[in-house]
Each structure stands twice: as C-alpha cells, then as structure tokens.
A and B are shown apart, each in its own frame.
Chain A
Amino acid sequence: MNALTGKVKKLAKDNRMDLVGVASIDRYEHAPEMVHPRAHLPEANSVIAMAIRYPDAMFVNAGSGDAESIFSIENYQNTVIGKNLYNAALRVTRLLEDVGYKTVPMMVSGRWRLHPYKSIKTEWCADFSNRHAAVAAGLGEFGLHALCITPQYGMRQRFISIVTEAPLDADPMYSGPSLCDKCMICFKSCPVKAIDVKPENLEKVRIGDRVFEYAKVDHWRCGWSEQVNNIPEEGPAMGGQEIGILPPEEGTITDDMFLSAFYEKNKLAGFQGQMTHAMGNCMRMCIPPPLRGKQKLPENYCRKMMGKREFLEAGDDKTKPRKYKIALKE
C-alpha cells in the first residue's frame, strides 16, 4: 500500500469509519456518463468508499420489545450517522487537497433527480452512486434488492464516497462467498411492492471485471414509504401513526399523486404524521448467508401489522391510492 493510501485509510478509521476501500477509475469503464466519477472530477483516478455501521442492537431491536419505538434509529440514521459520514469525507478530502490532489466529496444518499434527465434514464437518480462505489472498492456485493451487502455487517451500514485525482492503491473487488442467495426475503418484505424480481426485468451492471444482476426497484413506490412515511407498518405506527395510504396497485405514481398522498396522510394523521420514520423492511430483514446465525434477525413487525388493516376506501380502482387505518390498540 502506498503511504498516501495508508494515511487516507487511517484518517477514515480515526473518524469512525468501519469500512474503507479504494476503487481504481478503470472499474467504472461501463458506468453511465453523468454519474461517472469523471463527470464530477475530470482528473479523477480513484474513488474512496467508506461506511459506518449502525449500532447493531439498535438496528435489530428498533420497533421491538416493550418500547415499540424507532426513535433512536431515526435520529441516529438521519443525524448522527450522516454527520459522521460527512465529517470523515470532509477530513479525507482536506487531507488529499493538502497534498495537492483535487478531490470532490460525494453526498450521502438524500438528493435525487426524480425524473429522467438528459442521458440519465432512471428516476430518483442521485448524481453519484455510493452503493456502486462500495462494490467497486471491494467492500461487498449487490443483493437482489440492488443494495450493497458487506461480509462484515450485511446491510447494517451506510456509505459515502470521495472522488479524487490521487492515484491511490485500489483494493481487490470482493471475491468471497456469495452475499446474496436470492432468498427473496427483501421482495416478500416490501409492503409497497417496489422490488420487481421478474427475470426479464432484472438489471445488469458491469463493475471492473464482474457483472452483477439485481432487481428493478420502483423508487416512487419505495419513496412512498421511505421518504414520506405513508405506510405506518414500516415504522410510523411505532410513533402512533395509525393512518396509511397504499400506493396504487397498478399503473405509475405521478408527482401529483405522491404529493397529494403525503399531504392527505399528514392531514389525517395529525401532527404525529410529521414526526415519524420509516425503515426499509427489505433492508431490515436481509441477512446474508455468511452472517446467518451471527446477526440477529429483527422482528418482522411490518408483516405482522399488515394483517390489521382496516380499509377506509373500497379500492375498486386499482390505479388510485387507497387509505386505511391500522388497529394499534389491543
């Protein structure tokens, strides 16, 4: 390892990063032009991927036990974990700048172009993919749900990346035992049916000399729960939000439909509707084969509660959202 690569990794670890890896730019040969590292920094030679783990018992126990609460995971995920990632990325960027290499830190997932834009054909597309960078840097591989699974923590970490001109030593890509055996728990656990596993719809991506295949994810459906908390079973119910709105069973979700459902939910759920959190059930329930028996499986509270829906609308028109209530009082 060259000295600068060692310094970068030490600095990242000193700033609470649990995983650090480096991808060489050639692994991005097949990346789409507008999300390529060189789209951010034409002089880019390396990408640094870093991750911080979730406190494991917090991840597992969120929503379970007598507390029935996801307050901690909300605040740690959205505040502390994010701030730690940004702090480490900022410090690594400054180190590389200080020794004369142009460097652009990328963001933690949280901003998107919601619609296709020029050569970008996908929806809800960030300007750079931290999960692809993590795979390219050898931190793990894709699961069927299109997220990066690591051999150390499975799904229980968040990623950030840094694009740099520095010619750092690349880490080998992950080549250990498969981290996804297509157990389908992600597909079965998703309450908004956002994961499309039909063989003809699977997405293929080439990184370095490896080809990965993963499900097509409908991000409007995913965001319906994850971003605006319209599905109480994925977390908001733990805060006392009883009102839910299902996305349409058929057809596409439009901006108007998405926003109307969000405002309607907030109106019906009252103030509580604005103080909730949803955590992707696909992410919670996924434990990769090498970690089964080592990582504790969280309770599938989402599935348990789905049987307690009391629909407030007939739902004859499957192209429209459908309001319902969860029976929380027992």
Chain B
Amino acid sequence: MTNFEARGESMKTDMAELRRKIIKVAGEGCMDFTGFASVDRFNGVHNRMRPEAHLNDAKCVVSIGIRYPLAMYENAGRTKAESYMSMDMYENNAMETALLQAAMDVARTLEDFGFNAVPITTKMYRVQPYKDIKECWTQDFRNDVAAVAAGHGELGFNGVVITPKYGTRQMFTSVVTDAPIDADKMYEGPALCDKCMKCVQACKMNAISSKDYDKVVVGDKNFYVVKKDKWRCMWSKKFMLNAEMGPRLHGMNVSVEPPKGEIAEDDVRKALSEKGQKGGLQTWYTYSMRECERECVPPHLRGVDLVKKYAKSAE
C-alpha cells in the first residue's frame, strides 16, 4: 500500500515527472550516476538481499553513485606526501555522507509522490553466516548488483562494478521503492573487463585467485567474478593488518601474517591485539587501500586522464 492509499487519498502520478525529479534531486546531491532497475533483474540474488526483502511490493530500485575526486584517488599514497589521509576521510566521511544524504533525499521525493521507499546503506555487514545465508561478510542488499541492473556498468572479474565513465572510481548505494518507474537499459557497450588479472596480482593477501570464480546473474546477463576469501580480504581492508597496503605510509609498520588456510574470528582478534601492542597509538590513525580496485582500469580508459577527458568549458 502506498502512502497515499494508506491515507485514503488518490493521486495520478506522472511517472515521467517523478523520474525527472529523482534525477534532479540526486544530481543536486553530487550524484554522478542515477539509474533505475526493475526488480526482476535481481533474479540471481539471495532472497534476503533482494529488493522485496526490504519492501514487500518493491517494483523498482534507484541506484545512485558518486565518483571519487579523481586526482585524490590516483595520487593517494603515490605522491611525495605518501599519504592516504584524504582518501580515508573523503571515502569514509565526505562521500559516504553525500551518498546517504542523496539516498535519503531520493526516498523523501518518492514519499512526497505517494510511494514507499527504503534507502539502503553501505559498509554494514553480517560477519558470520545468518540463517539461510551461508556466506560470511554479507550485506543486506547488493548495491553492486543494483548498479549493474540499473545500467551503470558491469561487474568486473574482481567483483567490483566497472562503469564506462569512471571505471572503478565511484561508490554506490540504492533506494528500493514500490513506484513503478520504467527501468533503464542494462549496459550493452564493449566489455569493461578483459580479465587482465591486474586485480589478482595487486592483492597482497591472496584473497582472490584467477582460477576460482562464481557466476553472478543479473537479469539476463551472467558475470564471472573471482571467488573471494572475505576474511583474507578484510584482514587488510578493514582490520589493516597488512602495513604494506597503506598503514606503513602513516608510520604504522606492524603487519601480522594471517594463518594459512581458513581464518577464524579469533585469529583476527589475536592479530589485532598484537598490532595494538606493537603499533601503539598510530594504529588508531591508519588506512588500507584496496589495490585490486585501483589497479583495475577498463580497456578503453587505460592511459586516459579522466579529468581532462570530461572537462567542460569554465564559462
């Protein structure tokens, strides 16, 4: 039941007008991507992560994305400053805030037009398997699948969304709604991943391998993505236990080797304690870069200066 029906009101919604309004609101909120996906394109997703798992009568998912400041992303840790401080604070603070604020504004716009809308978050996980979810480190919704389903791009072999405009240099979130907004076409251009394996080579944690992969179905498309050892990935990305992936540049030199084979939660706990003891206060102020994403540049963007490529006139 929509908000308007619940109130006993009726409203003939101009869906084209609603679509335009959402694109405008997201654009005002710094979003570089706004797209619409029909819920049937989530056919390859676990039931608990589907749009209908968040909103019974879901008909559409609005996928929005914001690009990283491009020079910041390229230069982080690579220039004389040898620093990831801006990357840390913009990714985890400024961009995250912009993304959630825009999702909130899109949801409010949909509500104002009489529809229900659930804004989805980012970076929250169920660390362990949950009920019928067998995997660990799962989110409650697949923002990556939503971005692909809304036509923004494709899933690369590294499991990350690659867009034709910015490659991997953006973040996404989504809004699930019962508004029956027409879906955008899915991406149909040249392949954005040529399996160059830079992602596999860049992962210092051996969390991904070129030999083991999963099939991810989105609508009528199949993507083959590396099977990721998520504990091994998080060992560096979230717990910053590999100094070489960023912490060393902030003066935190402590790396703790993960055990061979399967990593248990207790292994992480012990490793964090060891890092805390050896690394001191600096362990509070570090950042770990995901080089599997940064090293990934789609074929048509290799060697291209994106800032110059997309420059508009200053006038």
Least distance between B248 CB and chain A CB atoms (Å): 10
B239 interface residue per 8 A CB criterion: no
Question: Which chain A residues in 157-171 approach chain B with CB under 8 Å?
Answer: 165
CB within 8 Å of B: which of A254-304? 255-256, 258-259
Docked Cα-Cα span, A117 to B82, in Å, equals 10
CA A127 to CA B81, docked complex, whole Å: 7
- The contact of A94 among B69, B81, B314, by CB within 8 Å, is B69
- Whether A252 is near chain B, meaning CB under 8 Å from some CB there, is no
Contact of B85 among A102, A117, A127, A255 (CB under 8 A): A127
B-contact 0/1 string along A102-119, CB 8 Å cutoff = 111111101111110110
Given A99-B312, A102-B307, A127-B85, A117 and B98 contact (CB-CB distance below 8 Å)? no
Of B81, B93, B282, which is within 8 A of A86 by CB?
B93
- How many residues of chain B are within 8 Å of chain A by beta carbon? 35
Instruction: Give per-residue flags for A83-94: 1 if the beta carbon is below 8 A from chain B beta carbons, else 0.
Output: 100110111011
**B280 is contacted by which of A98, A106, A255 (Cβ under 8 Å)?**
A255
What DSSP secondary structure best describes chain B's contact surface? Answer: helix
**Interchain CB contact under 8 A, A102 and B90:** no
B contact residues around A40 at 8 Å (CB): 75, 79, 81, 83, 86
> Which residue in A42, A87, A100, A104 is a CB contact (below 8 Å) of B308?
A100
- Tell me whether B94 and A39 are in contact (CB under 8 A): no
The 10 residue pairs across chains A and B that have the minimum distance between CB atoms: A100-B311, A255-B280, A86-B94, A127-B83, A39-B80, A39-B81, A102-B71, A107-B89, A99-B314, A111-B85
Q: Which residues on A are within 8 Å of B, measured CB to CB?
A: 3-4, 7, 33-36, 38-42, 82-83, 86-87, 89-91, 93-94, 97-108, 110-115, 117-118, 126-128, 165, 255-256, 258-259
Q: List chain B positions with a Cβ less than 8 A from chain A.
A: 30, 69-72, 75, 79-83, 85-86, 88-90, 93-95, 97-98, 250-251, 280-282, 285, 307-308, 310-315
- List 15 additional contacts besides A34-B82, A102-B71, A117-B82; criterion CB under 8 Å: A3-B314, A39-B79, A99-B313, A101-B307, A102-B70, A104-B69, A104-B86, A105-B94, A106-B86, A113-B250, A113-B285, A115-B251, A127-B81, A127-B83, A259-B280
